[in-house]
Amino acid sequence: MLIIGLNGSPNRQGNTAFLLETALKSAAEMGAETESIFVQEIMEKAKRPFCIACETTCRGVCYAGTELEKVLDRIAQADGLLIASPVYFGTVSAQLKSFWDKTRRLRRYRKLLNTVGGALTSGGARFGGQETTLRTIHTMMLIQGMIVIGDSHEKSPGHHGANAAQPAQDDANALKRASLMGKRMVQVCEATASLRKNRQEGHK
């Protein structure tokens, strides 16, 4: 089982990254293989970082042969994606949105169909736009046909995902929720493994 975390923050080691690593650690403790991808680093190397819908349907010509292509192909192999972003004006960061717009080719070939998805976010205040940011991430996932996880049966804060008020390392409720999300991610990935066997193969 492969669980990949997408750090959509402009900071490699910040509040969002701390929350994401907490969830990935929990998934790893349950036996999953985990990886973390720093989205900004990938997009900084892209010659054309913003999608302009140059083709319909998308063949990914704007990033063919680049590191971005390798990263997109890698997330297409994942059983689960943990997507994390700080709150920027009540929604996701520009870095994450730009990256996700580049997944049009994956959608064409249903590469993320039935991939399990969980959302995490951090904001500058307790009520700083976290839930609207989580909902944005959920929408991004649903358009790819992903399986979105929310609350677990265990008592925990955060019905829509793990959300922290900065500093994240001091937000005990957020860290508990992130750990539970990692655990639930593995459980749902195990339960839905057969669905991902039907994803189309052989397309780039």
For residue 54, the SS3 value is coil
- CATH number of the 2-196 domain: 3.40.50.360
Nearest of 14, 16, 23 to residue 3 by alpha carbon: 23
pLDDT digits (tens, 9 = 90+) for 20-37: 999 999 999 999 999 999
Instruction: Tell me the pTM.
Output: 0.92
Could you report the average pLDDT of every consecutive run of 10 residues in the chain (204 residues)?
97 94 97 97 90 84 91 96 96 96 93 97 87 96 95 69 88 90 95 85 48
pLDDT digits (tens, 9 = 90+) for 113-124: 999 999 999 998
> Which helix (H) or strand (E) segment is 139 a member of?
helix 130-143
Query: Cα–Cα distance between 195 and 3 in angstroms, integer?
Result: 16
